[in-house]
């Protein structure tokens, strides 16, 4: 490919920065006694080119909304990223030697504790999806920034990279530029393709990208490639940079068995001597160009309208969610919605009809869908990700990183539990509550009717961080008046009396089963208390303990979810320290196809099972 020609002093200055990044990376990892110095050395020219010539940003304000975006997908090369920002004078160079210390913000892999890191990286294969989300946010917001993602060659084995590759091409996102540091060596052995750059090029080209092969240690070639990427319209660009792991140090260059190994002090001294000798006199220190400013106007979000459902007409909570999201999106331009080719089942098509420019069809690629949402959130948007609850588990690692990032992403899982019926076990979300409850600082809401589903959407918009809303397939009776208030961390007491012999705690479809059981038991002269948990995380501990004290210190939970990690565990964790006994009804047998009522009866989570459990556990109070 063509090369660009820089003034010799500026070119020398860029090369000196690359050398300095290598020096800093070795110093930092040797001081830490661990890390990935050779992975940093291969990317030094790429980082120097990006941060000191290509990207437009304000180094004094890393979170400027108009800054070009950078994601270090190969997060194990964190020291070279930290070194670039030290070179930009964001913090003293000496701070680099605190790498990986408990009291340092320079962690082993980048995290958003740092103002120049949008998302945590290092679980390979995620960065490109995040970069795509950032590029889509720029399009939605009318901003001019470009998004750059540096990947390792080994992570090109991850299917999520190719999920992103095909979608970025489909949506013609030409402000996204990927860079693959093809340094040939993985952790334990050479990568599959090693330096077969033409194969890489054919693969990326087949996915619709402009693929440019360069010598990744030649600044002229790198700069020409970045220039061509910026001038390319209608498709994304990937720069395939042929590099060598450990480049710049003779005894590390292209050598196996150095991945993730810091140099010992004597080795570091030898390496640093070689690198210092490569410094070129008379180099001109380049500085980044300022961000390209866009004339962006925003309007403040309007209050979400109140729900307006006919209480005589049952409504599925997934349908109510769709209506609520569309209503919210009409007045709040911060909202974006991503769906995985099930919008006519999740009802996100309602939002698409009202705000098509803020709807992203992710097709059947859930990992990429979540990664895009993380990028959208990092750019200041409020993304809702919706698909069947079971399919969200496909993206579990992405969701895990979203939790680590405190990413402001809202997840909605529909078609939860065995109550979906005939579709069978592969379509039944039965692990989703456990997955989202396990995330640090997550919020988990489980509405049981249309009104609470509407309010759950409203709460999610205003709740920072990861929020999960679990919705169901069957139509449900409307239990609450449209003026009923809901809150995170609060449940609802639906049935209570002085003669209650047990408390049943439920949510979603099982709440209606609990109410049916309460009516049947009442006809037999047995009174029970019924709680709609609604907020599964955090739970309403005070309400649960009050109910337990009134009903023999016993709570019976019932849920359309596996026993591990769900509603029952949430309740037990809350009240267990107070000595409350929790009896858990949950899905315990292998799920299969059948009618919803058949499946719920088989799993013993229907009204009959609740009735029988009450009679079994409190015989003394009911005269048995």
pTM of the model: 0.96
Amino acid 280: pLDDT:
92
Q: What are phi and psi of 581, to 5 degrees?
A: -85, 135
Residue pointed to by tokens 């948990």: 533
Write the DSSP symbol of residue 280: P
Edge to edge, the sheet with strand 69-72 lists: 69-72, 147-152, 176-182, 237-242, 210-215
| Residue 406, SS3 per DSSP | coil
* Conformational region of residue 32, where left means phi above 0, alpha means psi within -120 to 50, and beta covers everything else: alpha
Give 273's contacts (C-beta < 8 A, 6+ positions apart): none
Q: Which domains does the chain have, with CATH numbers?
A: 8-276 (3.40.50.970), 315-476 (3.40.50.970), 492-617 (3.40.50.920)
Q: Which pLDDT tens digit goes with each residue over 316-353? A: 999 999 999 999 999 999 999 999 999 999 999 999 99
Q: Which pLDDT tens digit goes with each residue over 174-231? A: 999 999 999 999 999 999 999 999 999 999 999 999 999 999 999 999 999 999 999 9
Distances in whole angstroms, Cα of residue 496 to Cα of each of 359, 480, 518, 546: 44, 16, 10, 11
Which residue, 451, 470, 474, is CA-closest to 413?
Answer: 470
List, by residue number, the catalytic residues: 366
Question: Between β-strands 176-182 and 315-316, what pairing exists: parallel, antiparallel or unpaired?
Answer: unpaired
Residue pointed to by tokens 């960065």: 127
* Conformational region of residue 259, where left means phi above 0, alpha means psi within -120 to 50, and beta covers everything else: beta
Q: How far apart are CA 148 and CA 572, in angstroms?
A: 46
CB atoms near residue 460 (< 10 Å): 26
Q: First-to-last CA distance in the chain? A: 87
Regions of the chain where pLDDT drops below 70: 1-5, 620-624
Contact by Cβ (8 Å): 553, 580: yes
Q: Which residues pair with 338 in a beta bridge?
A: 360, 385
Distances in whole angstroms, Cα of residue 253 to Cα of each of 38, 158, 250: 8, 26, 5
Q: How far apart are CA 19 and CA 55, in angstroms?
A: 19
E strands, 265-333, are: 315-316
CA 258, chain centre distance (Å) = 31
Amino acid 3: pLDDT:
61
Q: How far apart are CA 56 and CA 69, in angstroms?
A: 9
Which residue, 405, 368, 363, is CA-closest to 132?
Answer: 368
Q: Which residues pair with 213 in a beta bridge?
A: 240
Amino acid 7: pLDDT:
85
Q: How far apart are CA 559 and CA 564, in angstroms?
A: 11
Q: How far apart are CA 262 and CA 97, in angstroms?
A: 13
Which residue, 47, 58, 49, is CA-closest to 21?
Answer: 47
């Amino acid at each position: 490919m063509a090369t660009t020609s820089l003034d010799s002093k500026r070119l020398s200055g860029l090369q000196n920065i690359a050398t300095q990044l290598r020096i800093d990376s070795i110093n930092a990892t040797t001081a830490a006694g661990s890390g990935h110095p050779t992975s940093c050395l291969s990317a030094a020219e790429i980082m120097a080119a990006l941060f000191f010539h290509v990207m437009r940003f304000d180094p004094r304000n890393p979170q400027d909304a108009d800054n070009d975006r950078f994601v270090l997908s190969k997060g194990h090369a964190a020291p070279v990223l930290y070194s670039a920002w030290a070179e930009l004078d964001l913090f003293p160079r000496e701070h680099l030697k605190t790498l990986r210390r408990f009291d340092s913000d320079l962690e082993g892999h980048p995290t958003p504790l740092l103002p120049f890191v949008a998302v945590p990286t290092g679980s390979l294969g995620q960065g490109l999806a995040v970069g795509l989300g950032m590029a889509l946010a720029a399009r939605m917001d009318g901003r001019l920034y470009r998004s750059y993602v540096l990947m390792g060659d080994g992570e090109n084995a991850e299917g999520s990279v190719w999920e992103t590759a095909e979608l970025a091409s489909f949506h013609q996102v030409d402000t996204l530029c990927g860079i693959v540091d093809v340094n040939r060596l993985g952790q334990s052995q050479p990568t599959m393709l090693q330096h077969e750059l033409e194969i890489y090029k054919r693969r990326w080209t087949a996915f619709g990208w402009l693929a440019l092969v360069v010598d990744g240690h030649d600044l002229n070639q790198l700069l020409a490639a970045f220039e061509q990427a910026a001038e390319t319209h209608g498709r994304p660009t990937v720069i395939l940079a042929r590099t060598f792991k450990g480049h710049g140090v003779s005894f590390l260059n292209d050598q196996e068995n150095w991945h993730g190994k810091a140099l010992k002090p004597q080795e570091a001294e030898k390496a640093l001597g070689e690198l210092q000798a490569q410094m070129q006199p008379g180099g001109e220190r380049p500085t980044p160009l300022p961000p390209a400013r866009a004339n962006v106007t925003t309007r403040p979000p309007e209050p979400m309208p109140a729900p307006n459902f006919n209480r005589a007409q049952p409504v599925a909570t997934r349908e109510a969610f769709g209506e609520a999201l569309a209503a919210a999106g009409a007045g709040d331009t911060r909202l974006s919605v991503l769906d995985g080719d099930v919008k006519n089942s999740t009802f996100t098509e309602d939002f698409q009809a009202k705000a098509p420019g803020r709807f992203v069809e992710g097709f059947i690629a859930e990992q990429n869908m979540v990664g895009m949402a993380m990028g959208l959130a990092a750019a200041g948007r409020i993304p809702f990700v919706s698909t069947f609850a079971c399919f969200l588990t496909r993206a579990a690692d992405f969701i895990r990183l979203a939790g680590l990032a405190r990413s402001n992403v809202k997840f909605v899982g529909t078609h939860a539990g065995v109550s979906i019926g005939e579709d069978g076990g592969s379509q039944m979300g039965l692990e989703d509550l456990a997955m989202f409850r396990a995330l640090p600082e997550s919020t988990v809401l489980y509405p049981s009717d249309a009104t609470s589903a509407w309010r759950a959407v409203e709460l999610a918009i205003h709740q920072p961080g990861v929020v999960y809303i679990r919705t169901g397939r069957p139509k449900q009776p409307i239990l609450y008046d449209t003026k009923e208030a809901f809150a995170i961390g609060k449940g609802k007491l639906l049935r209570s009396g002085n003669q209650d012999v047990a408390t049943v705690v439920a949510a979603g479809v099982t709440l209606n089963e609990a109410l049916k059981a309460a009516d049947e038991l009442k006809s037999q002269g047995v009174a029970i208390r019924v709680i709609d948990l609604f907020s599964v995380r955090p739970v309403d501990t005070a309400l649960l303990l009050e109910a337990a004290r009134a009903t023999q210190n016993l709570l019976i939970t019932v849920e359309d979810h596996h026993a591990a990690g769900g509603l029952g565990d949430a309740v037990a964790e809350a009240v267990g320290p107070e000595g409350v006994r929790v009896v858990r009804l949950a899905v315990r047998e292998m799920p299969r196809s059948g009618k919803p009522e058949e499946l719920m009866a088989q799993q013993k989570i229907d009204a009959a099972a609740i009735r029988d459990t009450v009679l079994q556990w409190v015989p003394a109070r009911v005269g048995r």
